[in-house]
Chain A
Amino acid sequence: MFFKRKEKNPIRIVDKKVHEWKYTTCGYCSTGCSIEVGLNEEGNAVATRGNANADVNRGKLCIKGIFEHELFDAAGRGDKPLMRDKPYEPWKKTDWDSALDHMGGEIQRIQETYGRDSFAIVSTGQILTEEFYSLGKLARGCIGTNNYDGNTTLCMASAVSGYKRSFGSDGPPGCYEDFEHTECLIAWGSNLPEQHPIIYWRLKEALEKRKFPVIVIDPRVTMFAQFADMHLAITPGTDVALMNSLMYVILDEGLEDRDYIDKHTKGIEEVEACVKDYDPVTASKICGIDEDTIRNVARLYAKAGAAMGIWTMGINQSTHGSDGVVGINSLALITGNIGKPGGTSLSITGQCNAMGTREWSSCSGLPGYRYLEKAEDRKEIAEFWGIDEEFFPKKRGMAQTDIFPAIETGQIKGLWLVATNPMTSMPNTARIRKTLEKLDFLVIQDAYADVETTHYAHMYLPAAVWAEKEGCFTNTERRVNIVRQVVEPKGDSKSDFWIFKELAKRFPNGKKIHFPETPEGAFNEMKQLSKGGDRTLDISGMTHDKIEEACGIQWPYREEDDDEGVAGGDVKGSSRLYTDGKFQTPDGKANLIPLPFIDNNEVPDDDYPFWMNSGRVVEHFHTRTRTGKIGNMNKYSPTPYMEMNPDAAADLGIKHQSYVRIASRRGDAVVMVQLTQRVSRNMVFIPFHFHDCVNRVSLGLLDPHSRQPAFKQCAIRIEPVDQQWAGELNVERRTY
């Protein structure tokens, strides 16, 4: 009744009427935050909040997690399988049975015509671990192609390769808790505040309790570089020279942990010989860091009671990615900083389940870090799955970055892409477009029907996204956490787990191999495969429920560990690997590997005078298929932009907030200029998230060990462009 209204204005605050909060794990980066999604009475996801009990994020979330509930209803999702004979024909909707029959038939036709390995599979770091396991089973056990890889080749391959070379096995040996114990942190090419804000917050919390030196190595003055005690503005692609020089100083001045080196490593002599060539004076000429700084950092690091190195794409995405990882590992090994609190070599991973694919997808071998090259591994898995062990190849096939060239030259005729978007994510877009056009059969399995790659596809399978399904992610500190299903898959889309399981029925081996009906069933198989021996990747003590209760458990967590803290719900798993100094090499000793530095970067010259560097911004994830559609994130960078030094711009007459054309030896792109002294006079920085932008010009030389492309180093030139035309082009290319 109006006359009862109080004269004081009523206070209205949005009440989303959350009826139930559901536990799940964030599906963006690999920090592994525990999230709660709020559902209203109608069962719609209306809110997100951090889980305050989780040790990883302690209730905090970054901008992407905060809006994660909005992605269920965001634009661009597919809801029906689509087929067509030729990519230039219009799509026809179909049902799942017909789609999978056709797909199974096409794969077998291609394999029969061109050979078993002529059909390739490229998956992702985005789907759940149980799904990876099932895909591995399907790819290795039923389809039998050896050209099967994940897009983790674009982000984590160098870390994997480096870990394997140094320690004999993959798996980050440290954890976030190490920040609370370390006395010196070196961050190599890692911009935590932008890329992993929650990990940054954990570091900040540790620093507020107890100050310790932070050294950031980055060519760009990121916020992290600005807040660091020392910022080493390194010349792009020369990290290995700096590492060698740090080792030179440590060994030269006798700061190494000789006891640890003798007991737990081998190869020190070769390393000593190699680093002789990298005295600080010589190295300073290569990497652009002066000799005093090199000595200072080396002493600080070596003398710290516990010191840690972290890194991200600044190391991985270079032609010396794997070597860079080995270098960071070696620095840790020679100073005895492995497997102890605050002393570690911690890769800060990219995708939410990059670890899951490394562990269980079989793309670089067989499940559970098993090798195709080892007869006993082939035998064990063949028996476990119930197939003939001769079905497995005896050597790993091609990596993602070799699969595409093989399509280009006709060895591979069919391709299945699972939750990856190479038209935006792979270097040299023009070459990828040409490559995709050559395929006889391209299947895209993705939550989003509007990814650019679908233009070249013959079939599109709509997949469920994130918490529309159930299963595990492993984060960058080996913590297995669970994604609980929060809502039903959109429309007629299906979980990747279901798609793999159903497609398997279309292959002869699929009738022999058992595909569990539920993700938990698959998890139980993984548990069995993780048991035994000195295996670090042991999850046999975990169950889905226990994982939720603990908000994630770090492997190894063995069956026998399980009796310990269960009652209190204080299950923690293992914080660190290699605490006993025993490594996964035949003799248990870590490898110290010499790293001669060869400068093979495309360095700036007269024709292409600028370094082009690329990287992430906090509001976007990968190719923006998700974040580009959520206004409250996308608005912070709705169009591609390029950080450029104002002095360099003045020389070229380029204005702030105008468009320019950038050109390399591969192609060109149009981008908006942001003038800032954050970058040096001969370098620009462009976020990599945008379609038709940075990868039109990038080179992506491959790392010889990991086959990971060097996205971050190439040479470009900058030219003026008609502003009206550029603006219109920008609109056309930003349909999301």
Chain B
Amino acid sequence: MNKQTQQSEIKVQYFDVNNIGKVPPLPAAGKKNPAKPAIEIGTREDNMTSTQKVMRRYNPWFMMRNYLDTLGSNAPALDDTPRPIFDERSGERDYAKLNDPVVNDENRYGTKIDLLDLADVEVPEERSMFINGNPEVGTNPNRYKQHGFHFTADNCIGCHACEAACSEKNDNPAHLAFRSVGYVEGGSYPDYKRMNISMACNHCDNPVCMKGCPTKAYTKHAEYGAVLQDPETCFGCGYCTWVCPYNAPQLDPVEGQVSKCNMCVDRLEVGLKPACVSACLGNALNFGVVENMPDNREQIKTSIPGFPDPSITNPNIRFQQTKSMPNEMGRTDDMPIKYHKEEDGTFRSVVDEKQGKESFWNLSRLSSRENPLVIFTLFTQASMGAFMVLFLGALMGIESLVAIKNSIAYIPLLMVMAAAQAIGLLLSTMHLGKPMRFYRGFNNLRYSPLSREALGVAMFFTGLAGLTALEIVSIWLPLEIIETLKPIAAWFAVISGLLGLYYMCRSYLIPARPFWNHWQVFTSFFGTPLSLGSLLLAVMAVPVFAYNGQDYTALLQVTSGLAMLGLLAEGLGLMAHAKYLNTESGEGAAAHYVQQTTFGKSYVARNVLIAVGVLVTAAITFALAETTIGLVLAALVAPTIFITLLAGRALFYVLVIPTTMPGAFFWKNKGFEQHARDIGLANMPQVGVVPDLH
């Protein structure tokens, strides 16, 4: 037998044994939507020239930032002693060993599975991952292939072994879990079906967490396509927990940082499946190169009932679910969501009216842990609105606004705006898990709208505060240079303010949070500056004008006119929003259901007050500005508008329902968590609910 035939025989044999049934034609995704090449696959430095590396490392900003990071850090020192990457046990069984003899070129979305191809840059094959600083290089032959979980929903018994193995390995406290099991159920006794769902991070092709994170705590590694997050880089803003549709990143309110599934890359490096998979007792959870069919399985679907729309992130998880389910599958947790079977057999989320139709005020529940953001956005928008109206209005020659600039109220007004903005910034910073790390917020200007928002607002504040300082200084020091600097500072504030405002809106356009994901955010976030900003101007300037005997009528007309426009925008936006929520199914509609029931009376009151605000401000603008009635109405409508907008903004944060996975009866059930906090069960750490920290 000559060498050539030998080779071809081997090839055929290889194909026969391993290929049949291994690489079936991939069912096409609903729409081919190849994720943009994963953006940071951790190869940045590897492809730099040494000069670039030096330039980067000795960049003063990085040096300062990195130095600051070392302060107060409790991260364990990384240890570069050569040692095994993972301590393997003797007699390890096949179920724990990775087994991917054949892999596809592309996943069903058309993205390359070989991440070196995807990276489009050279990565040294023998590159160490430096897990905990360990220079050892993994032996896994598929280490540069995108890996993912495979979950056979038919088999999961809900025994918690996967969650336990994960928490044991990662030493997570009871209130945190990288993997959680929830369930959906349906049918009626005894034809009852419960389907458990075990879910962790899906190490997506399009990791929205990584794009959203302002601190660049996330990296999508060329090794395994693992999306890893560094809690030490994170400053605990929780934005990744907003954008992730699967509730994978876990915000720990105790530590003030996020952490998440690390794909057990240490186990992968030595050829072992992740701890959760190896622990599975129902033979439900599996792991390997994505799109590969595990042994004894017949499906690699992208969805099961309860799983969010995969087109948001192109997640690297596949499913088998062959057993038929009842037409309607409910959740045991308190989310007003259930899943309805469509004609094509897939399930979509629809509203489950768990709390009936009765409508309540629930004013006290408007207060939430997002209160600082309510204040931050309102104060920022008021400050920006007041400043822009004043500056641009005066520029356009609107006399009443020019009059403010020339009045004694001008500098105090600037000071109030700056103070409002400062309070807003302070609150948003204190809202971080690690406020002292605020400077990390600008790290991801390239992708994160939150980074850009933060920079815009910070620059606006700088311009505003600078202008205020210049105005104060110029009282005593009438220097030419100061007069030149003033418009520069003002324009700087205007432009950065507009950018900040724009990205503030963009930060809330999140597919995983359908309630926010609507242009109403723009009408609200641009309407509020007009209404609240004008309100601020009027409240500060009208009394001064009146006291000085100046005519305030024009000012009242201008400010109430602008407030009317702002409220009108807000109102029209809300109408369109309600319409969108009514036609939308699932989480958005569920939020709307909560809005109409739990907060029903508050919601209606807010809407009525906006309409009243529009009418009253219109009346003042067009008819009553010169009358006493107009002044009285203005005095009444001003606090009303503020309260209306405050309540509206609180609703905005309280109502959002993310596209999370179904929870269980106690674990991952917001309703039980709230009860445990209310009643005091949360004070026992073994209950696994963190008590209110404020």
**A13 and B70 contact, CB distance less than 8 A:** no
**A678 and B192 contact, CB distance less than 8 A:** yes
Docked CA distance A225–B278 (Å): 25
Kindly report which residue of chain B lies nearest to residue A202, judged by CB atoms. Answer: B281
**A5 and B282 contact, CB distance less than 8 A:** no
B302 within 8 A of A: no
Docked CA distance A226–B78 (Å): 48
Kindly report which residue of chain B lies nearest to residue A679, judged by CB atoms. Answer: B189
A223 to B: closest C-beta gap in Å: 5
Docked CA distance A678–B253 (Å): 36
**A636 and B265 contact, CB distance less than 8 A:** no
A200 within 8 A of B: yes
Kindly report which residue of chain A lies nearest to residue B83, judged by CB atoms. Answer: A15
How many Cβ-Cβ contacts under 8 Å join chain A to chain B? Answer: 250
**B679 and A728 contact, CB distance less than 8 A:** yes
Docked CA distance A612–B32 (Å): 53
**B686 and A2 contact, CB distance less than 8 A:** no
A656 to B: closest C-beta gap in Å: 7
**B219 and A9 contact, CB distance less than 8 A:** yes
**A6 and B45 contact, CB distance less than 8 A:** yes
**B164 and A63 contact, CB distance less than 8 A:** yes
- Contact digits for A45-80, partner B, Cβ 8 Å, 1 yes 0 no: 001110111000011111100110000000000000
**A197 and B161 contact, CB distance less than 8 A:** yes
B78 to A: closest C-beta gap in Å: 6
Docked CA distance A197–B279 (Å): 11
Docked CA distance A679–B192 (Å): 9
Interface size on B, residues (CB 8 A): 97
Question: What residues of A have a CB within 8 angstroms of the CB of B44 in the complex?
Answer: 7-8
Stretch at the interface among B130-138, B452-460, B598-606: B130-138
- Contact digits for A618-633, partner B, Cβ 8 Å, 1 yes 0 no: 1100000000111111
Question: What residues of A have a CB within 8 angstroms of the CB of B282 in the complex?
Answer: 193, 200-201, 204
A222 to B: closest C-beta gap in Å: 9
Stretch at the interface among B528-536, B550-558, B613-621, B661-669: B661-669
Kindly report which residue of chain B lies nearest to residue A232, judged by CB atoms. Answer: B190
B671 within 8 A of A: yes
A1 to B: closest C-beta gap in Å: 9
**A638 and B159 contact, CB distance less than 8 A:** no
A40 within 8 A of B: no
**A8 and B219 contact, CB distance less than 8 A:** yes
A259 within 8 A of B: no
- Contact digits for A6-28, partner B, Cβ 8 Å, 1 yes 0 no: 11111111111010010000000
A680 touching B189 in the complex, CB below 8 Å, given contacts A5-B66, A631-B174: yes
**A677 and B188 contact, CB distance less than 8 A:** yes
- With most chain B CB atoms within 10 A of its CB, the pick from A7, A18, A674 is A7
> Of B70, B185, B231, B264, which one neighbours A2 at CB under 8 angstroms?
B70
Docked CA distance A196–B680 (Å): 33
> Of B161, B676, B678, which one neighbours A62 at CB under 8 angstroms?
B161
> Of A48, A52, A636, A657, which one neighbours B90 at CB under 8 angstroms?
A52
Question: What residues of A have a CB within 8 angstroms of the CB of B131 in the complex?
Answer: 11-13
> Of A194, A628, A681, which one neighbours B189 at CB under 8 angstroms?
A681
Question: What residues of B have a CB within 8 angstroms of the CB of A634 in the complex?
Answer: 174, 686-688
A632 touching B172 in the complex, CB below 8 Å, given contacts A52-B93, A63-B159: yes
A14 touching B194 in the complex, CB below 8 Å, given contacts A7-B45, A676-B185, A727-B679: no
**A635 and B666 contact, CB distance less than 8 A:** yes
B343 within 8 A of A: no
Question: What residues of A have a CB within 8 angstroms of the CB of B170 in the complex?
Answer: 13-14
> Of B171, B228, B681, which one neighbours A11 at CB under 8 angstroms?
B228
**A638 and B219 contact, CB distance less than 8 A:** no
A273 within 8 A of B: no
- With most chain A CB atoms within 10 A of its CB, the pick from B167, B189, B194 is B189
B361 to A: closest C-beta gap in Å: 19
B230 within 8 A of A: yes
> Of A4, A8, A638, which one neighbours B686 at CB under 8 angstroms?
A638
**A656 and B354 contact, CB distance less than 8 A:** yes
CB under 8 Å from chain A, chain B span 10-27: none
B139 to A: closest C-beta gap in Å: 17
> Of B192, B231, B666, B675, which one neighbours A637 at CB under 8 angstroms?
B666
**A657 and B671 contact, CB distance less than 8 A:** yes
Docked CA distance A226–B187 (Å): 12
Question: What residues of B have a CB within 8 angstroms of the CB of A193 in the complex?
Answer: 157-159, 281-282
Docked CA distance A281–B164 (Å): 47
A221 within 8 A of B: yes
A565 to B: closest C-beta gap in Å: 17
A10 touching B130 in the complex, CB below 8 Å, given contacts A66-B168, A67-B168, A635-B686: yes
B155 within 8 A of A: yes
B369 to A: closest C-beta gap in Å: 20
B165 within 8 A of A: yes
**B132 and A11 contact, CB distance less than 8 A:** yes
B193 within 8 A of A: yes
CB under 8 Å from chain B, chain A span 639-676: 639, 641, 645, 647, 656-657, 674, 676
- Contact digits for A427-453, partner B, Cβ 8 Å, 1 yes 0 no: 000000000000000000000000000
- With most chain A CB atoms within 10 A of its CB, the pick from B90, B95, B157, B163 is B157
**A12 and B232 contact, CB distance less than 8 A:** yes
B477 within 8 A of A: no
> Of A66, A677, A680, which one neighbours B279 at CB under 8 angstroms?
A66
A12 touching B75 in the complex, CB below 8 Å, given contacts A634-B174, A645-B189: yes
A658 to B: closest C-beta gap in Å: 10
CB under 8 Å from chain B, chain A span 344-389: none
Kindly report which residue of chain A lies nearest to residue B676, judged by CB atoms. Answer: A638
Question: What residues of B have a CB within 8 angstroms of the CB of A88 in the complex?
Answer: none
B91 within 8 A of A: yes
**A678 and B189 contact, CB distance less than 8 A:** yes
A734 within 8 A of B: yes
**A36 and B159 contact, CB distance less than 8 A:** no
> Of A14, A221, A629, which one neighbours B171 at CB under 8 angstroms?
A14
Docked CA distance A341–B89 (Å): 31
A730 within 8 A of B: yes
A221 touching B91 in the complex, CB below 8 Å, given contacts A193-B282, A676-B185, A677-B185: no
Docked CA distance A231–B158 (Å): 19
A587 within 8 A of B: no
A487 within 8 A of B: no
A632 touching B174 in the complex, CB below 8 Å, given contacts A48-B168, A52-B93, A67-B164: yes
Question: What residues of A have a CB within 8 angstroms of the CB of B684 in the complex?
Answer: 638, 734-736
**A7 and B667 contact, CB distance less than 8 A:** no
Docked CA distance A18–B171 (Å): 13
B62 within 8 A of A: yes
> Of A16, A628, A635, which one neighbours B174 at CB under 8 angstroms?
A635
Question: What residues of A have a CB within 8 angstroms of the CB of B230 in the complex?
Answer: 9-12
Question: What residues of B have a CB within 8 angstroms of the CB of A639 in the complex?
Answer: 666, 681
Q: What are 24 A-B pairs with beta-carbon distances under 8 A?
A: A3-B66, A7-B45, A8-B44, A13-B131, A14-B171, A60-B279, A61-B279, A67-B168, A193-B157, A194-B159, A198-B281, A201-B282, A225-B190, A226-B192, A227-B157, A233-B189, A618-B160, A630-B686, A633-B160, A674-B332, A727-B679, A731-B680, A731-B681, A734-B687
Give the 4 A-B residue pairs with the shortest CB-CB distance, closest first.
A631-B174, A635-B688, A193-B157, A53-B91
Residues of chain A whose beta carbon lies under 8 Å from any beta carbon of chain B: 2-16, 18, 21, 36, 47-49, 51-53, 58-63, 66-67, 193-194, 197-198, 200-201, 204-205, 208, 221, 223-227, 231, 233, 618-619, 628-639, 641, 645, 647, 656-657, 674, 676-681, 727-728, 730-731, 734-736
Residues of chain B whose beta carbon lies under 8 Å from any beta carbon of chain A: 42, 44-45, 56-58, 62-63, 66-67, 69-70, 75-76, 78, 87, 89-93, 95-96, 129-133, 155, 157-161, 163-165, 167-175, 185-190, 192-194, 196, 216-219, 228, 230-233, 262, 264-266, 278-279, 281-283, 296, 332, 334, 354, 664-667, 669, 671-672, 675-676, 678-681, 684-689
Q: A647-B188, A727-B679 are in contact. List 12 more A-B contacts (CB 8 A).
A: A51-B91, A52-B93, A58-B93, A61-B279, A63-B164, A200-B281, A223-B196, A634-B686, A676-B192, A680-B189, A727-B678, A734-B681
